[in-house]
Amino acid sequence: MAVTSYSGAEQYNFDIVKKFSVMALVWAVVGMFVGVYIASELAWPFLNFDSPYFSFGRFRPVHTTTVIFGFGGSALFATSYYVVQRTCQTRLISDGMASFTFWGWMAIIVLADISYVLGYTQAREYAEMEWPIDLLIEVVWVTYLILFVGTIMRRKQPHIYVANW
């Protein structure tokens, strides 16, 4: 009789954790670079090249969104996907949904940054994204909720750890 055993790589979906972790670092570098650039614009105003696209007012939300949502959000996704799998001792319920949350979240950051540079915002601090991007955020977060709760419901560990509350 053959015994089926899973290696750590097959038992858990660490691919999605790696993707979010790497992109968290990428967004951190991009966000900090933009922050240094706009700080430099304050010291040397000629760096905006007399173009509205390079102005401080358009690049500041790029910096904050990239750092908060790109770096912070990606790090939180990576952490939660790692923790829910390890504490529940089961793989995520859907690799496709996990992949959708990754690509959807990356699209949100890129679309938001492009829209800011083009001057499209809601003019609300830390909530500047236009409504179509807000809707995409909702779709990604609802997908994440289904994936997270579904994984908890399918757990092999009878105890639900505080980390998953």
CA 92 to chain CA mean position, Å? 17
Which pair of structure tokens corresponds to residue 9?
Answer: 């790589």
* pLDDT tens digit sequence for 38-87: 999 999 999 999 999 999 999 999 999 999 999 999 999 999 999 999 99
Q: C-alpha dihedral over 26, 92, 108, 134, to 10 degrees?
A: -140
Using CA atoms, how far residue 7 sits from 11, 21, 97, 159, in Å, is 6, 21, 22, 23
Residue 127: pLDDT above 80? yes
- Residues 37 and 115: beta-carbon distance below 8 Å: no
User: Nearest to residue 152, comparing CAs of 93, 79, 82?
Assistant: 93
Q: Supply the pTM of this predicted model.
A: 0.90
